[in-house]
Amino acid sequence: MSIEVKKTDLDFSEIHERMQWYVDQEIIPCCNTLVLQGTDVVDVKTYGPLDHETNRPLAEDSIFRMHSSTKIATSIAAMTLFEEGKFKLDDPLEKYLPEFANMNVLKAGATSIDEVEPCLGSMKINQILSHSAGLSYGFVEPDSVIDQAYNAKGINPMAPGSQMTLESLCKDLSELPLAYQPGTFWRYSFATDVTARLVEVLSGQRFDDFLKERIFQPLNMVDTDFYVPVEKQDRFTTMYMPTNPLDPMASGYVKADDPYEGANSKPTTFLSGGGGLMSTLSDYLSFVQMILNGGEWKGQRIIKSETLDLMRTNQLPAGVGVNFPFWEIPGTTFGLGFALKQQPAEGEPDSATGEYHWGGMAGTHLWMSPNSNLAGICMTQRMPGFWHPFSHDFKRLSYKIAGN
């Protein structure tokens, strides 16, 4: 069934031409874009093939690796338990995951993983939801002391033969120091995977079962899971890597092989709340419409509107914002699972302020702008593809054409 589009007088051809240009220039292998006003889809378009080996057409039900776009679903899952009184945002994490008690922290300027000091306070749940708890990821700054320690300990769920689980990840993380004192900084991290483990402990369910029961089934997200079964493989997109990864606008890419045989096509032990989901444009449309509609979709209440408001409240201390060593994301703070735009990007209207969003390393991006009554989804499969010019152009042109 195709996505229903509301008829308007808006002309989206400028978006279509620009996105097609990215595909024609072989900067990205394929793309889909979708624009909403309120909860109504006013434009949807696919560009390029599902894969360049067979030239099968991309479709609205083609399956993408969502990577860190998973984090928004995980955060909402956790906050449904918050609504039930299962935890408070300022609860210490060790209250539910005792392995995180009595943590140490790397000293400032440490040159060895052994140069530590005691943690001045417990990691709090709002901090793991906002990447301010002191954890790291192992790849953001691979030459740093903390990321080298993560990699030396083998904290890599995509390694061949990995049997990592959310439980074992938390055990491994708890045996290493934090990168900084909790609540003092923002660092991209495994924190959302820790959040997924918290969901398991508080609910008594496997994380994938919880997501299906509470979010995916009520929203009719029939193609969203942590793997793509055999009968759906013909709809699974192919991942590509640029031949010049240092220049996001350079032409050329090559097929990226799976990290190991069966990756993405078989059930996995690691139900990554931080980046493990596969999904489609049509499935994630239902998810975004639910958020835009205050937590309800076609009579199904997933989360309360006041809880979503809370999730869009900055959790970082004054002067601290989202930061990556390789991407500039100025004027951005972080709530409970959402990045929060505090100022418009170049070429965007003032109404872009207040936008909340996040995306995935493979090229998926979801954004919602209450002041413009506008939202968008765009997807490609280019690694890396987060914070890429193609998604910035899509957003800028969406504001130009359809924003308030």
Q: Which residues share a beta bridge with 368?
A: 356, 375
pLDDT at 327: 84
3-class SS of residue 394: helix
pLDDT at 325: 84
Q: Are 291 and 378 in contact (CB under 8 A)?
A: no
Which amino acid type is present at position 188?
Y
pLDDT at 11: 98
**Where does residue 282 rank: exposed (0-12), middle (13-18), buried (19+ CB within 10 A)?**
buried
Which of 124, 83, 74 lies closest to 307, judged by CA?
Answer: 83
pLDDT at 326: 83
3-class SS of residue 278: strand
**Is the bond preceding residue 384 a cis peptide, omega within 30 degrees?**
yes
What is the C-alpha separation between 246 and 66, in angstroms, rounded? 22
Rg, C-alpha atoms of the chain = 20
Q: Kindly give, in sequence order, each residue whose CB lies less than 8 Å from that of residue 192, ignoring residues fewer than 6 positions away.
A: 68, 70, 71, 74, 75, 128, 129, 131, 273, 274, 337
> Which residues of the chain, if any, have pLDDT below 50?
none
Helical ranges in 25-58 per DSSP H: none
3-class SS of residue 174: helix
pLDDT at 173: 98
Structure tokens at 170: 């938390």
3-class SS of residue 368: strand
pLDDT at 76: 98
pLDDT at 397: 98
3-class SS of residue 186: coil
pLDDT at 1: 54
Q: Are 398 and 377 in contact (CB under 8 A)?
A: no
Q: Kindly give, in sequence order, each residue whose CB lies less than 8 Å from that of residue 12, ignoring residues fewer than 6 positions away.
A: 35, 42, 43, 45, 401, 402
Which of 294, 256, 234, 204 lies closest to 49, judged by CA?
Answer: 234
What is the C-alpha separation between 339 and 331, in angstroms, rounded? 10
